């Protein structure tokens, strides 16, 4: 990826990992410029937020322990993705990163 593209989208990419509020802000920040680096991280963040929501639902309705395990995995994936954004890399989330990019390709 081109250095200028990464530099221009890095702030938006990092903001996208600050819970749902950051994701919405990053989406609107990227809406006019359509930076490919920021778009990549917005899609990853959206997938991680939905994965975390699933952890909460599993914990509430199915099994507290299973939901906790999914939540811990989601948190580890979030750390990996955030570090990738900070370092200026398009680092996909393990196991699910390709799916997030495919499922949400029209989002950002």
Does residue 39 register a pLDDT over 80?
yes
- Please check whether residue 8 lies inside any domain of the structure: yes
Structural domain including 94 reads 3-103
Does residue 15 register a pLDDT over 60?
yes
Among residues of the chain, what percentage have pLDDT more than 70? 97
**pTM of the entire predicted model:** 0.88
- Please check whether residue 25 lies inside any domain of the structure: yes
For residue 1, the Cα-to-chain-centroid distance in whole angstroms is: 18
- Please check whether residue 98 lies inside any domain of the structure: yes
Mean predicted confidence (pLDDT) in 19-34: 89
Q: What is the DSSP string of 26-92?
A: HHHHHHHH--HHHHHHHHHHHHHHHHHHHHHHHHHHT-HHHHHHHHHHHHHHHHHHHHHHHHT---P
- Please check whether residue 108 lies inside any domain of the structure: no
Per-residue pLDDT tens over the stretch 57-82? 998 888 889 989 999 999 999 999 99
Number of domains the chain contains: 1
């Amino acid at each position: 990826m081109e250095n200028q593209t990464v530099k221009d989208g890095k702030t938006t990419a990092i903001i996208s990992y600050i819970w749902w509020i950051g994701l919405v802000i990053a989406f609107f920040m990227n809406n006019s410029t359509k930076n490919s680096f920021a778009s990549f991280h917005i899609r990853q963040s959206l997938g991680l937020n939905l994965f975390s929501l699933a952890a909460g639902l599993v914990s509430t309705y199915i099994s507290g322990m299973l939901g906790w395990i999914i939540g811990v995995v989601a948190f580890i994936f979030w750390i990996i993705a955030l570090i990738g954004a900070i370092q200026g890399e398009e680092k996909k989330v393990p196991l699910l990163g390709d799916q997030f990019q495919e499922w949400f390709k029209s989002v950002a």
